[in-house]
Structure 1
């Protein structure tokens, strides 16, 4: 796998993960509709800051693991591939279970968003940061996916940081789209049909990546 192939492949996967409606999307929508674009962008910036911390931590951990044991690294790759397969199946199951009035991943309904009292922008950033740092799913995703996209000859830490930058750039674009289109496409974004479609497409891609990762890890072993 070349550096370009790795970045493009990861960009495609990260783009699908980014657009899954969840706590980050719900929080940005809440701030957009209740306090305006500045607070929405600040919350998004906090989430992106947290995502960079997760990515850097995952890259550093993978680098340390490679230094200690190649066997442990292979185990991590298999575990990451299994996690992607499990996540893909879970998304498909969730897509059939969703009905009107279901909640997002954070347990908060997307319809009837509560009004948020005005707060300082610094606090809004902190809420976005903490929301991401306390989300173990994102950390597990980083740990599971980064090893699958390492390129021979490129230090794992630097490769992990490059992948994190790619995902954060996509997140910035996605949050800008959410803020800009919140009012125009409100009913569409909140609709269960949209969430079912996203779940199924993302689940299929994650499952395919998981199968490919298992086959590649077995071949390398």
Structure 2
């Protein structure tokens, strides 16, 4: 590994990324809820989708596509509209589950979604958020000096992706235990209501956010 990748700046950047992905947010809460309601396999699939979606934006930042998106601002607007709409759709689904009759709530965990659908949900949550590429760009800029090679930027992205995978898969495993699922069955109405509020807030915030300039 080049000496540049062993710098204090890299340690700070990786620490900042780790704190960011571990903090409560739509992706983490979706993984937790899926783990408790659907089980470990579906939660792992959703986590894999989140990791892959995030990694795509990381690669885009490392390859310089953030400059393209700034030059063609309509791409930002389009992705923000799509991303906000998708998050509000997830909010509506969570709200519908929260307000479902008690009998439906008690049997909801039996109707497991497929791994493919779980993966697509996680991937969609990240790939429709255009602000992610600028977060990645900031991480790379913090980790490396301006004259760094593209390969070094890709190495930083790969390191962050590995951290993200550990965090997201860790949530999937931790919240799919028998104890966690038992807690979910007793509190699923409140969990779904909270998840609906988080998705709605994230979607509206994405719509109202200004384009990066």
**TM-score bracket for the superposition, by shorter chain length:** 0.5 to 0.7
Alignment of 1:123-202 (within 5 A): 128=115, 130-133=116-119, 135=120, 137-143=121-127, 144=129, 145-149=131-135, 150-151=137-138, 153=141, 157-158=154-155, 160-175=157-172, 176-189=174-187, 191-202=188-199
Change in CA separation of 1:84 and 1:164 when aligned onto 2, cut-off 3 Å: farther
Report how far residue 25 of structure 1 moved. Answer: 1.4
Change in CA separation of 1:94 and 1:70 when aligned onto 2, cut-off 3 Å: closer
Change in CA separation of 1:206 and 1:163 when aligned onto 2, cut-off 3 Å: farther
Alignment of 1:17-96 (within 5 A): 17-20=27-30, 25=34, 29-31=37-39, 40=40, 44-45=43-44, 47-64=46-63, 66=65, 69=68, 71=70, 74-94=73-93
What is aligned with 2:26?
16
Which range is displaced more, 198-207 or 92-101?
A: 92-101
Change in CA separation of 1:20 and 1:159 when aligned onto 2, cut-off 3 Å: same
Change in CA separation of 1:60 and 1:183 when aligned onto 2, cut-off 3 Å: closer
For the aligned residues, what is the CA RMSD? 4.3
**Unaligned segments of structure 2, at least 5 residues:** 1-11, 145-149
| TM-score, length basis structure 1 | 0.56
Would you tell me which structure has more helix in proportion to its own residues? 2
Which range is displaced more, 66-75 or 199-208?
A: 66-75
Change in CA separation of 1:196 and 1:60 when aligned onto 2, cut-off 3 Å: same
